[in-house]
């Protein structure tokens, strides 16, 4: 009996050692940190003068490399980030943003659409990353078990594929994707899929009406109020898209653009914040070398777009 118990203890010890070793490698290679949030992991700078919020259109749409030696810049955007989390991140890092700074708030076609955030099918997986960025009181449906897994035992909630890729240091990060160029023959198919994902899936009610999130409207008004309180200058931006993307929306939902601009114009009227729409900009919409897919700029495109904003909106880089 003693030998049997000893064997069990040895097996438990081995399994524990293996698990902890895998977890150590996983953390060491930073796989527990989503590639999107590595900027946060490296530290949000003080006295930010120019920054942006937004979803993936903001994450991939801004490239500050030509001005970051002169200005302190930061990209607060994350893939699939909602306006609600834009606001929570702003709340947490407001003291990092300098008075008289410029804050770009990216408004995408889907920004105000869909059910409540917690009703989203991928809410749990997206919400986990904020355990790395925000204090518990700013995390939607905070759970201490998730906190423990994300921050201390991330390998236990990783998929087998992610676990293997990371331990082998094969992680595909933002920079790998950001350097790609859009494939012209595939742009039409990609745009059709993006159209479905952005303004159709889970965004139409049983009566065929588009669903608008009140919590998104509340969040953007709260952001503007807070930015004005700290003396920052908010600016609304819609990033450039390939023509395939805007055409897919126009052809499949011809009424959408009038609805979208009606909503945005109402917010602009109520907040007195300027809005700049580059979604149909001729300098971008047919240049595949500036995009990684139909609706996301690549590194080269983001650099060009950011420099355009600096000249045309802020009057820099003259």
Tens of pLDDT, residues 168-213? 554 445 557 899 999 999 999 999 999 999 999 999 999 999 999 9
Among 104-108, 148-152, 262-266, the range scoring the smallest mean pLDDT is 148-152
- Burial class from Cβ neighbours inside 10 Å (0-12, 13-18, 19+) for residue 171 reads middle
In this prediction, residue 163 carries a pLDDT of 45
Q: What's the pLDDT tens digit per position in 65-101?
A: 999 999 999 999 999 999 999 999 999 999 999 999 9
In this prediction, residue 169 carries a pLDDT of 52
Which residue matches tokens 């770009």?
104
In this prediction, residue 238 carries a pLDDT of 98
In this prediction, residue 20 carries a pLDDT of 44
pTM of the shown model: 0.85
What residues form DSSP beta bridges with 103? 51, 234
Euclidean distance between CA atoms 110 and 67, whole angstroms: 30
**3-state secondary structure labels for all residues of 25-84:** HHHHCCCCCCHHHHHHHCCCCCCEEEEEECCHHHHCCCCCCCCCCCCCEEECCCCCCCHH
The percent of residues above 70 in pLDDT, for the chain, comes to 81
Euclidean distance between CA atoms 51 and 306, whole angstroms: 11
Q: What's the pLDDT tens digit per position in 227-254?
A: 999 999 999 999 999 999 999 999 999 9
CA atoms within 13 A on the CB side of 198: 26
In this prediction, residue 7 carries a pLDDT of 56
Give helix 184-199 / helix 243-252 axis angle, nearest 10°: 50
How confident is the model over 32-39, as a mean pLDDT? 67
pLDDT at 26 over 50: no
Which residue matches tokens 């809410």?
123
Q: What's the pLDDT tens digit per position in 122-139?
A: 898 899 999 999 999 999
Euclidean distance between CA atoms 276 and 90, whole angstroms: 21
pLDDT at 223 over 70: yes
41/282: higher pLDDT: 282
**Phi, psi (deg, nearest 5) at residue 80:** 60, 20
**Phi, psi (deg, nearest 5) at residue 68:** -70, -15
In this prediction, residue 229 carries a pLDDT of 97
In this prediction, residue 40 carries a pLDDT of 92
In this prediction, residue 49 carries a pLDDT of 97
Q: Classify residue 240 as left (phi > 0), alpha (psi -120 to 50) or beta.
A: beta
Among 9-13, 143-147, 283-287, the range scoring the smallest mean pLDDT is 9-13
In this prediction, residue 42 carries a pLDDT of 83
* Helix or strand run (H / E) with residue 101: strand 97-106
| 3-class SS of residue 49 | strand
pLDDT at 1 over 70: no
In this prediction, residue 46 carries a pLDDT of 97
How confident is the model over 248-274, as a mean pLDDT? 97
Q: How many helices (H) and strands (E) in the chain?
A: 13, 7
Rounded to the nearest integer, the mean pLDDT of the chain is: 87
H runs (alpha helix) in 94-229: 123-128, 144-152, 160-167, 174-178, 184-199, 214-229
């Amino acid at each position: 009996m003693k030998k049997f118990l000893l064997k069990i203890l040895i097996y438990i010890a081995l399994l524990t050692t293996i698990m902890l070793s895998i977890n150590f490698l996983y953390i060491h290679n930073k796989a527990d940190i989503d590639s999107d949030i590595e900027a946060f992991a490296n530290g949000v700078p003080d006295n930010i003068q120019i920054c942006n919020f937004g979803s993936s259109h903001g994450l991939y749409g801004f490239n500050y490399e030509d001005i970051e030696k002169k200005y302190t810049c930061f990209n607060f955007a994350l893939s699939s980030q909602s306006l609600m989390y834009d606001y929570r991140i702003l709340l947490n890092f407001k003291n990092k943003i300098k008075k008289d700074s410029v804050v770009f708030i990216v408004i995408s076609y889907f920004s105000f659409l869909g059910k409540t955030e917690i009703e989203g099918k991928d809410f749990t997986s997206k919400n986990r990353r904020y355990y790395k960025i925000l204090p518990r009181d700013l995390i939607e449906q905070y759970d201490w078990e998730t906190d423990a897994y994300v921050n201390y035992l991330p390998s236990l909630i990783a998929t087998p594929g992610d676990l293997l890729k990371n331990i082998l240091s094969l992680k595909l990060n933002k920079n790998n994707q950001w350097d790609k160029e859009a494939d012209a023959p595939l742009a039409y198919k990609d745009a059709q899929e993006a159209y479905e994902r952005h303004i159709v899936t889970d965004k139409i009610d049983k009566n065929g009406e588009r669903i608008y999130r009140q919590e998104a409207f509340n969040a953007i008004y709260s952001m503007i109020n807070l930015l004005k309180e700290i003396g920052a200058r908010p600016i609304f931006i819609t990033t450039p898209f390939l023509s395939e993307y805007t055409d897919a929306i126009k052809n499949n939902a011809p009424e959408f653009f009038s609805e979208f601009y009606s909503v945005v114009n109402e917010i602009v009227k109520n907040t007195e914040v300027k809005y700049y729409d580059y979604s149909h900009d001729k300098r971008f919409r047919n240049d595949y070398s500036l995009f990684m897919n139909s609706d996301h700029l690549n590194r080269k495109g983001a650099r060009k777009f950011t420099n355009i904003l600096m000249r045309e909106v802020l009057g820099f880089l003259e």
